[in-house]
Amino acid sequence: MGCRISIGKYTFLRCNEVVIEKSTALVQDTARIKLPLTAVLPVKNVPVTTIELAKTLKIGDKVNITLAYNEVYNKTEFVGYVKRINPGMPLEIECEDAIWLLRRKNIKKSWAQVTLKQVLEEIVSGTGIELSGNIPEMILKPYGLKDIDGAFALQKIADEYGLKVYLKPDGKLWAGLSYTENSGKVNYCINGEESNVITANELKWRSKDDVKIKVKGVNIRKDNTRTEVELGDENGSLRTLFFYNVQSKKELENLAKQELNKLKFDGYEGKITTFLIPEALPGMTANLTDEIFTDRSGSYYIESVKTTFGTSGARREVELGIKL
């Protein structure tokens, strides 16, 4: 195993630990890097010397983390900026993806009528962040951003309209409804000779008859007025689902019922732990097979991935969402 961590003008080929967290539920990806307090580094035109990293590395330094395994795997896992430096033994460096740039931009603007794409363009303008090419055609009427930073503005849009908003691996900003962005597929075998899962202890089988869920369906019209319906189990866990420009309350109820049936399924829920290979990203489809319990095979939406790398090895903790 190997790593290449660039922070500012310095490059490190070893570390105590790296933890990278990515999720469709959050607008930003994060990374934590643990390094020794001091390091022996070559500096241009200066003899090799010992440098105190806590005083040398700076907030806002560009960060690039590449992880590798022999000649089989070598990929950039994180690109971002230093958000915070925590002196300690070892030194901990907190990082954030390009959303860090948006936290430094203040936005104050309102529109009588505007599309989602136009609002996102206003948020990212001047930061170098580009929009993904498949932003859905949505009208926000009226809409305003009142003296808030760009990262908060994205979270505000996600919360108000039930959207997933995050940066894709190519660095472009994507926004859309849950489970509509396909980032590829990854195959996992839980049991048997072909197993590539270290542990599935946090993966639990659930029956739809045992799941108690209440769904609140919210319809948002073009003028931003809303209609709501509630379905499901009275004392179940609440899930809020957003719909747009539904013509009638009856149609809203039918759509909410369809989504409720998706949430009540026979299948797995929870997390699995794997090696660095295969690569997994939020938004991917995880195809699970089980040679012992063959009837439990299925495809699931990956909600989040936590990648750890360090002296004890490399692992991915993959959280599964709905059954697809």
pLDDT in tens, the chain (324 residues): 899 999 998 899 989 999 999 998 889 999 999 988 776 666 566 555 566 788 889 999 999 999 999 888 999 999 999 999 998 888 999 999 999 999 999 999 999 989 999 999 999 999 999 998 788 888 887 888 888 999 999 998 988 888 889 888 888 999 988 787 778 999 999 988 889 999 999 988 888 888 888 999 999 887 778 899 999 988 888 989 888 888 889 999 988 888 888 788 888 889 999 999 999 999 999 999 988 888 778 999 999 999 999 988 999 999 998 888
Residue 152, SS3? helix
Nearest to 300 by CA among 278, 272, 279, 323: 323
Distance in angstroms (rounded) separating the CA atoms of residues 143 and 17: 43
Beta bridge partners of 96: 30, 81
CATH code for the structural domain at 182-211+265-324: 2.40.30
Q: What is the pLDDT of residue 319?
A: 96
d(CA 176, CA 179): 9
Domain ranges of the chain: 2-97, 102-177, 182-211+265-324, 212-258
**Two domains, one topology: 2-97 and 182-211+265-324:** no
For domain 2-97, which CATH number applies: 1.20.1630, 3.40.1170, 2.40.10, 2.40.50?
Answer: 2.40.10
- In angstroms, rounded to a whole number, what is the distance separating the alpha carbons of residues 151 and 155? 6
Four-CA torsion 136, 137, 141, 143, nearest 10 degrees: 40
How far apart (Å, rounded) are the C-alpha atoms in residues 324 and 317?
A: 20
Predicted confidence at residue 119, as pLDDT, reads 94
CA dist 134 to 117, 118, 127, 211, Å? 10, 13, 20, 34
- pTM here? 0.87
Per-residue pLDDT, 280: 96
- For the chain, the distance separating the N- and C-terminal CA atoms, rounded to the nearest angstrom, is 34
What is the model's pLDDT at position 224?
Answer: 79
Closest CA to 143 of 106, 108, 111: 111
Spatial CA neighbour of 197 closest among 284, 270, 288, 267 = 288
Q: What's the pLDDT tens digit per position in 129-165?
A: 999 878 888 888 788 888 899 999 999 898 888 888 9
What is the C-alpha to C-alpha distance for residues 308 and 36, in angstroms, rounded to an integer?
Answer: 17
pLDDT digits (tens, 9 = 90+) for 151-161: 999 998 988 88
* Pairing verdict, β 114-115 and 73-86: unpaired
pLDDT at position 304 is 95
Full DSSP string of 49-96? EEEEHHHHS-TT-EEEEEEEETTTEEEEEEEEEEEEEE-SSSEEEEEE
Superfamily covering domain 102-177: Baseplate protein-like domains (3.55.50.10)
